[in-house]
Copies of this chain bind each other. A is one copy, B any other.
Amino acid sequence: MTSPSTGRVARIVCAQLSPVIADLAENERLIRDAVARGIEDGADILVLPELATSGYVFASQEEARSVAITTGHQVFTEVSRLLAGRDTVVVFGFCELGERGRLFNSVAVVTGEGVRGVYRKTHLWDRETLVFTPGDTAPPVVGTPFGRIGVLICYDLEFAEMPRMLALAGADVLAVPTNWPLSEYPAGERAAEIIYAQAAARSNGVFVACCDRAGAERGQDWTEGTVIIDQYGWVLDDAGEAGTAVADVFLHLARDKTISPHNDLHGDRRSDIYPQEPPRL
């Protein structure tokens, strides 16, 4: 389905997997299966969880190191091969072995042509700081036939500067692999992480696709908060019982930042004000 004024429709699919801690072979299988299923379901953009290759609750840095990989690893080749001849884009988290033996909590953007981009999480959560080196490079915006995909990872999204910089750089949708540890929240409210995602979407006029993970790992329950959010901040779909969120969207709609006859989400920014020091009275 295409519309000349808005571009090509994109089916976003978020598959809320349950990776197995430190079992690279099993997680490769889970990822391959999710990609094959995504293709069957007509996914144009498929988002999988953070650290999908490795699991999250490492007992030690050594354990993480035992399943750390580079983008030369076969999981990338295999995913790319499944995508060959298609426009489908897959975004998934992996435990990256970097230069000088450092470990990164990374996400790869993979197409039929190979690994299009890698982003290393810059805001590390809690005990991740004991395992990973924080990235020191801005997240990328990856051009695709459906629109431009900005990449963030989990806790990154809680810093409004991050969605803002991606949206200002032209991202139409933020793909956000996450592992959201479950914490209590008041009845009738959405999980706090989803509130952040809604605010990020609406304040920037971009779509947001967060893929959380399912189940529990070493006693850690997950929020299972997978959501696809429109450019107004409203939830189009969540993972529900099926564990998969699906939405068909025109990502080009994110390029119109007009929100009233006199307002533009980005044009209204006051870059002259933000660097000022507030007067203390």
Contact = CB atoms under 8 A, between A and B. Distances in A.
A138 B273 contact: yes
B203 A143 contact: no
A53 interface: no
Interface string A112-141: 000011000011111111100010111111
Contacts of A5: none
Contact of A270 (B122, B164, B192, B200): B122
A236 to B, nearest CB: 10
Q: Select the residue from A127, A273, A274 with max chain B CB neighbours within 10 A.
A: A273
Copies in the complex: 2
Interface in A129-159: 129-130, 134, 136-143, 148, 150, 155, 158-159
A268 interface: yes
Contacts of A199: 160, 195-196, 198-200
By size class, the interface of chain A is: 35 or more
A161 interface: yes
Contact of A140 (B124, B143, B233, B281): B281
A155 B185 CA distance: 27
Contact of A203 (B136, B160, B198, B268): B160
